[in-house]
Structure 1
């Protein structure tokens, strides 16, 4: 008896992810019903932490969103919709937020959710109950008041337009200390077990507060799967039902065996340049690399033409904030050579390109870049490492020269671009620009939408002008679905919603 399985695979790992789901048998066939009670999801990367206070990787956060809820969630059009909060209001000066919470919400251990849980979570994130904030974004919080069991007031130190988007972050149970080993949330699935290197097991939460969105599956298994061809064959054989963020090449391999969804994903693929590395301290070298790299070839070869070319760290998915830079760095080998000569590298330059090996798309891109840069006398050594090691070595310790990776987008434009401010803990490229810092600060505090947009666009220009790194493209997402699988929605941010997906009659 073949077990029907759902698998989601992650390939663009980025600081990134995917989704899937199955349905109950309505005909009453006991064998088939048993087959359809387990939804299986495959991850190419290791879960970096079960604790929402410590999660870093976008893949991990998206999977753990099945366990946790925030005060608000995001709809398919990018708008915010109520989750644990019913509504909110903001003071005229933009510094005070009042949240009305949803009643009759329970954690997986049966305890009732309320204002004290929000206080506990935001206090910890803002560093109000510890030596330093767990997230620099929450450091804007001055104090939090519990008005009553279902009302919370948050006071900010100063106006910050993007604060409301922080309410997407998970709310944890007050004083619960075991989220690192046995996480407890209010989401549609509850924790069962986790085995490093093997996977995560969850089960349906029958008392989920969204009564019209109780999960269709009794069990959800997240399995670490790294072999891409094994995944392709399983999809063809209907042993798997869904793979998200597969490459265009893999989508072609599947042919008519699956339904393929293709859509923009609000992601920036970049060759990140460590601006503290001696060669990259010279702007002319960074400019040379931007002219030497052929973005069109990368898009055609790695994404089969399904990507949007970029010259700054911002996707056109957020249309009103996007600055169209045109052909800012046209492919020009002779200009690249001249810039390298001016920088003193006429006889050649070499550097190491550290790439998360879990992600085929980034590895393919790295190989193309290696060949392209050889044409201008630049020798690139590709250093493949697992994404878990990449997070430590590159993202946290900044112990690298260059890297190829993808960064997921957010609804808040400042959150997308703010990582490149001089003192930001996530400024992995060590970029420093007073003008850029000022533009981001002005966008955060802008009193009008027009002023905010103006500064966001200015910050994109500065990243391009300074050649902070080589921003390449926003590749489309490809989802492979078993025919008959329905209810899988797409969002303008990395999000996996497994509540409403089900397998209809094929």
Structure 2
């Protein structure tokens, strides 16, 4: 791995060694997380045209972003609550001197919800749907065995591993007919019900490579509520456990509620029935979109 002459945030993102170290650690919290319960989220951004079709992922609103990264699907990398990058379906990576050629080591213990094994060919097929959009600068995608991947770029990009954490770049299984099985991922939660633009229910899988580190709820329910006032009312009346909000109007005196990440920079609010890790991601609403995998019942 070629390093820049000074250690900055980009260098950390590009460091496969740092990713391997962080992948083995979780976010510390007291008390210890416990399995059980259902997380209910009221979210904006849903439409009746929502789907798990990768070709339209870049147009997804918050509802579908939460439904993908950290819930039903995994990406190659993820942004931890402290803002550093760690591997998800990738366990490590390295680049050439100018960052135009990247090699990724992929997990051998990830399984799709339909029972098929995760391989590099699934990454090649999934990323292929984004070559004209999010991955426009990728000129080569090659599987180097079941769990190896090479990506070639038109020009060097030290931030590529960070870019691959985007919720739109999750991995779907490629079926025998070269079509994707929509709604099937390697995530902690298996899709149970999906009503586009309205409602989603997902259940915790029986076993997962993140067991003991993430995925504490038995099930997760997403409800689409378009109006801020309605989401605030649902949270205030304890009909949901958390909601994306940008102001406290409609929440009352905040008794039994917390605003995240902080009141002057608010992106969501959560009921005290939910326990939170010691550090909350700030890059996206709802703990970097990963409330379902990081939070637990108090």
- Contact map agreement 2:112 2:118 (CA 8 A) in 1: yes
Q: Which residue of 1 aligns with 2:272?
A: 483
RMSD of equivalent CA atoms: 2.6
Asked if 1:496 is matched to 2:289, the reply is yes
Q: Distance in 2 between matches of 1:229 and 1:124?
A: 37
- Contact map agreement 2:44 2:61 (CA 8 A) in 1: no
TM-score (norm 1): 0.46
TM-score (norm 2): 0.74
- The CA deviation at 1:231 is 3.8
Secondary structure of residue in 1 paired with 2:140: strand
More helix by share: 1
Q: Which residue of 1 aligns with 2:16?
A: none
- The CA deviation at 1:107 is 0.5
- The CA deviation at 1:170 is 0.7
- Contact map agreement 1:232 1:254 (CA 8 A) in 2: no
- The CA deviation at 1:227 is 4.8
**Greater Rg over alpha carbons, structure:** 1
Q: Deviations over 1:398-430 (max 9, x none)?
A: xxxxxxxxxxxxxxxxxxxxxxxxxxxxxxxxx
- Contact map agreement 1:53 1:125 (CA 8 A) in 2: yes
Asked if 1:138 is matched to 2:135, the reply is yes
- The CA deviation at 1:51 is 2.1
Q: Which residue of 2 aligns with 1:354?
A: none
Q: Which residue of 1 aligns with 2:174?
A: 174
- Contact map agreement 2:76 2:88 (CA 8 A) in 1: yes
- The CA deviation at 1:74 is 0.5
Q: Distance in 2 between matches of 1:484 and 1:214?
A: 18
Secondary structure of residue in 1 paired with 2:121: helix
1:247/1:118 Cα in 2 relative to 1: closer, same or farther (>3 Å)?
same
Runs of 5+ consecutive residues of structure 1 not aligned to the other structure: 1-24, 27-32, 127-132, 265-305, 307-475
Q: Distance in 1 between matches of 2:229 and 2:126?
A: 42
Q: Which residue of 1 aligns with 2:259?
A: 260
**Aligned 1:272-287 pairs, distance under 5 A:** none
Q: Deviations over 1:329-348 (max 9, x none)?
A: xxxxxxxxxxxxxxxxxxxx
- Contact map agreement 1:107 1:184 (CA 8 A) in 2: yes
**Aligned 1:49-448 pairs, distance under 5 A:** 49-55=51-57, 56-59=59-62, 60-65=64-69, 66-126=71-131, 133=132, 135=133, 137-168=134-165, 169-175=169-175, 177-179=179-181, 182-251=182-251, 253-263=252-262, 306=264
Q: Deviations over 1:252-297 (max 9, x none)?
A: x243232333439xxxxxxxxxxxxxxxxxxxxxxxxxxxxxxxxx
1:233/1:172 Cα in 2 relative to 1: closer, same or farther (>3 Å)?
closer
- The CA deviation at 1:485 is 2.1
Q: Distance in 2 between matches of 1:52 and 1:490?
A: 28
Runs of 5+ consecutive residues of structure 2 not aligned to the other structure: 1-32
